[in-house]
């Protein structure tokens, strides 16, 4: 039996809660597919409306604009990831083991998901996060958006990871920066691997986990104490 998680989203992210209606859910789900296919810039509410057999005005009733829809999707992803981290590290005692489990989650290398997220195409969403997530905050209105707590899920996830890092090494002084840079590195290295491979050392073959090993080495070398391990 599979469970389904309902993630309660910040109300500032939408005009009308898309999870409360059929059209709303289709906007999000098909929006993920469309944006995954053609990218953020090429995506328009008109194209999405056509795909849904509705009109752009209807989509505007749910989301103020395309950027808010992106922020919504990304926020959903971070909340989902946070949930996955909690689930996967639950009952583990070793803080190293917890961090080990974290890495494949960040790279979406996990096969068994703890619960099926209601028809959301996770692979498409993960690709959107890799290619478009930075566009959610690299704007002139970051500060306003931040004030409205739009980035809280990302901060929460970073906070969670920073906690794991501090559990591993309470003396490490850069836990939050280490957490945010771990996430970001996972994503643009994935992007580079796929699109600008000469910026990486990874071949990109399906079962090549050199990126995972890179992240593992990078993480543990930085948060381990300088002395040889006892």
Partner DNA sequence: ATGTTAAAGATAGTATTACTATCATAATTG
Partner DNA sequence: CAATTATGATAGTAATACTATCTTTAACAT
Buried b (16+ CB within 10 A) or exposed e, 84-118: bbeebbeeeeebeebbebbbbbbbbeeeebbeebe
**Cβ proximity to DNA, 17 vs 213, nearer residue:** 17
Contacts of 11 (CB under 8 A, 6+ apart): 17
Given DNA, a second copy, none, residue 81, with its beta carbon under 5 to 8 Å by kind, binds none
Please choose, from the candidates 35, 34, 230, 207, the residue with its C-alpha nearest in 3D space to the C-alpha of residue 132: 35
Given a second copy, DNA, none, residue 228, with its beta carbon under 5 to 8 Å by kind, binds a second copy
Residue 222 touches a second copy, criterion: CB under 8 A: yes
Residue 167 touches a second copy, criterion: CB under 8 A: no
Given DNA, a second copy, none, residue 169, with its beta carbon under 5 to 8 Å by kind, binds none
Residue 138 touches a second copy, criterion: CB under 8 A: yes
The runs of H, that is alpha helices, within the chain are: 22-42, 45-52, 56-60, 66-89, 95-106, 122-137, 142-147, 152-168, 175-195, 210-223
Given a second copy, DNA, none, residue 46, with its beta carbon under 5 to 8 Å by kind, binds DNA
**Any idea how long the chain is?**
230
**Cβ proximity to DNA, 67 vs 160, nearer residue:** 67
Q: Which residue has the tokens 């309660």?
A: 8
Could you say which DSSP state residue 224 is in?
S
Q: Which residue has the tokens 């901060």?
A: 155
Supply the minimum distance, in Å, between the C-beta of residue 166 and a second copy: 11
Convert residues 96-135 into a mask of x (bound to a second copy by CB under 8 A) and - (unbound). Answer: -----------------------------------xx-xx
Residue 32: HSE in the Cβ half-sphere, 13 Å Cα cutoff: 22
Residue 47 touches a second copy, criterion: CB under 8 A: no
Residue 38 touches a second copy, criterion: CB under 8 A: yes
Q: Which residues bind a second copy (CB under 8 A)?
A: 38-39, 41-42, 131-132, 134-135, 137-140, 142-143, 146, 151, 154-155, 158, 173-181, 184-185, 188-189, 191-192, 195-196, 198-202, 210-211, 214, 217-218, 221-222, 224, 226-228
């Amino acid at each position: 039996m599979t469970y389904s998680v309902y993630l309660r989203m910040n109300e500032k992210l939408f005009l009308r809660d898309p999870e409360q209606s059929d059209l709303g859910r289709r906007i999000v789900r098909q929006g993920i597919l469309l944006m995954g296919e053609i990218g953020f810039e090429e995506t328009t509410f008109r194209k999405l409306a056509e795909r849904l057999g509705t009109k752009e005005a209807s989509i505007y009733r749910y989301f103020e604009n395309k950027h808010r829809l992106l922020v919504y999707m990304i926020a959903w992803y971070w909340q989902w990831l946070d949930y996955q981290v909690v689930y996967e590290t639950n009952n583990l005692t070793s803080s190293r083991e917890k961090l080990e489990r974290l890495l494949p989650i960040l790279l979406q290398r996990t096969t068994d998901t703890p619960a099926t997220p209601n028809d959301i195409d996770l692979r498409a969403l993960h690709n959107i996060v890799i290619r478009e997530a930075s566009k959610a905050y690299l704007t002139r209105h970051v500060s306003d958006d931040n004030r409205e707590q739009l980035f809280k899920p990302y901060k929460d996830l970073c906070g969670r990871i920073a906690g794991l890092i501090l559990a591993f090494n309470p003396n490490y002084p850069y836990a939050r920066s280490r957490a945010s840079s771990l996430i970001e590195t996972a994503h643009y290295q994935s992007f580079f691997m796929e699109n600008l491979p000469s910026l990486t050392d990874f071949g990109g073959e399906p079962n090549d986990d050199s990126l995972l090993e890179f992240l593992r080495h990078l993480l543990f070398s930085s948060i381990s104490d300088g002395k040889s391990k006892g």
